[in-house]
A = this chain, B = another copy of it.
């Protein structure tokens, strides 16, 4: 007996199933009255031979063998879910690719889709040849192999990581998708050795105030980190989501400074020089400073402030009338997210979204808000609050203070415009 015969669904037109849904139980935030989007959708796998109906092709013969992918990959049907790589770039040695946030669920970013930002390309490092040197204002300079580093006590934490230019102040008015706008942010579980453990081992001299971290890439990317952060939660990380760091994220070793702007989390870490004054390196002088309206520059703006974005529905998505779950991500470099508010009327009113547990320190927090769309054009927004009480600003409020000469540290609210057709687009356009 076929499935259709068993269930009596065989003779029902698609319309009657819509009526079933229309009569559905009321859920938080609305009913499923208009849930079914496409009355003309395909019927269950059409039978094209003499096998019973509704037994799809893939049940009629054995599938692929166990272990046919010793290291597994996504389904070929998901080949479009890849890093968002800039088109027509002048070069890609110093460039970025973005995480496709609008296609992802939960808080963990799979390693294959973690965002990238490189200044001299991705080095191909032999971990057996890699060394970490700790020197400068220390009692006992140290040169460690990866095997030696792994002998120290380890920790694991789920932390977000975000590029400080996510997005640039002008870019926010150009991007189409959530990834275009804030896809230079990802979140995973990092494992490593606390930097404090190593600094205790080498012994800091009294005037040790900064640690200059250097990467083993062609750019020798160099950033100065305050000693307070190094003695707090800074991690020498060698793992992400259980496995070794990916080459794009600093294999075999990176600095992890929870909540600090991405480029300070030096990848391919080879050197920690303990000093009294910062290095004033290229990436903390001509780059990664914020030009203010009065011509001055904000420097050493370490923390990524509280931010949120609705990832679904978001730009280039299309929605139907009726129930739509609004969901997105919030995070703050200062600690835990304490609340996310959603507006479905362009900011006139705001209501609390539900935060998915666990809500972790300096990690992505997934929020959800049930919404029934009546089909009228509107704008939907989210704004995050963190444990310091800081509230994510609108772009207008942010630029009142910061002006438009700035590039980094734009944590403004992102509005998504909903057209009467259901098409979703960047509300700044």
CB distance from A2 to the nearest CB of B (A): 11
State which residues 183-222 of A face B: CB under 8 Å.
Answer: 188-191, 197, 200-201, 203, 216-218, 220
Contact of A78 among B73, B109, B152, B244 (CB under 8 A): B244
State which residues 73-123 of A face B: CB under 8 Å.
Answer: 73-78, 81-83, 85-86, 91-93, 95-97, 103-114, 116-118, 120-123
Residue of B nearest to A95 (CB): B66
Complex CA gap A108/B154 in Å reads 15
Q: Which candidate, A57-65, A223-231, A284-292, is the interface stretch facing chain B?
A: A57-65
Assess the A218–B61 pair: CB atoms within 8 A. yes
Complex CA gap A158/B71 in Å reads 21
Residues of chain B within 8 A of A117, CB atoms compared: 66
How many chain A residues sit at the interface, stated as a range, is 35 or more
Residues of chain B within 8 A of A35, CB atoms compared: 148, 151-152
Contact of A45 among B59, B72, B129 (CB under 8 A): B129
Assess the A113–B243 pair: CB atoms within 8 A. yes
**Interface SS of chain A: helix, strand, loop or mixed?**
loop
| Interface membership of A375, Cβ < 8 A | no
Residue of B nearest to A96 (CB): B66
Residues of chain B within 8 A of A108, CB atoms compared: 108, 188-189, 241-242
Assess the B201–A125 pair: CB atoms within 8 A. no
Complex CA gap A45/B152 in Å reads 23
| Interface membership of A401, Cβ < 8 A | no
Assess the B65–A112 pair: CB atoms within 8 A. no
Contact with B along A6-22 (1 / 0, CB 8 A): 11110000000100110
Assess the A120–B63 pair: CB atoms within 8 A. yes
Number of copies of this protein chain within its complex: 2
Complex CA gap A78/B75 in Å reads 22
Contact of A75 among B135, B201, B251 (CB under 8 A): B251
Residues of chain B within 8 A of A64, CB atoms compared: 121-122, 124, 247
Given contact pairs A106-B191, A108-B189, A241-B106, A83 touches B75 in the complex (Cβ within 8 A): no
Residue of B nearest to A117 (CB): B66
Complex CA gap A264/B121 in Å reads 46
CB distance from A220 to the nearest CB of B (A): 6
CB distance from A171 to the nearest CB of B (A): 16
| Interface membership of A25, Cβ < 8 A | yes
Given contact pairs A72-B246, A105-B239, A131 touches B218 in the complex (Cβ within 8 A): no
| Interface membership of A56, Cβ < 8 A | yes
Residues of chain B within 8 A of A3, CB atoms compared: 133, 135, 271
User: What are 22 contact pairs spanning A and B, CB under 8 A?
Assistant: A9-B143, A23-B140, A37-B148, A58-B125, A63-B93, A64-B124, A65-B92, A66-B85, A67-B95, A67-B97, A71-B81, A72-B112, A75-B246, A75-B247, A76-B124, A77-B252, A78-B244, A106-B239, A107-B156, A108-B108, A151-B322, A153-B325
> Chain A interface (Cβ within 8 Å of chain B)?
3, 6-9, 17, 20-21, 23-25, 27-28, 32, 35-38, 41-42, 44-45, 56, 58-78, 81-83, 85-86, 91-93, 95-97, 103-114, 116-118, 120-131, 133, 135, 140-143, 145, 147-148, 151-156, 158, 188-191, 197, 200-201, 203, 216-218, 220, 238-239, 241-244, 246-248, 251-252, 268, 271, 320, 322-325, 327, 356, 358, 360, 366, 368, 370
- 12 A-B pairs besides A24-B201, A153-B325 with CB distance below 8 A are A3-B133, A3-B135, A20-B140, A20-B142, A67-B95, A69-B112, A72-B246, A106-B242, A107-B242, A108-B189, A151-B323, A154-B325
* Interface pairs A-B: 5 shortest CB-CB: A63-B121, A67-B85, A105-B191, A58-B123, A65-B92
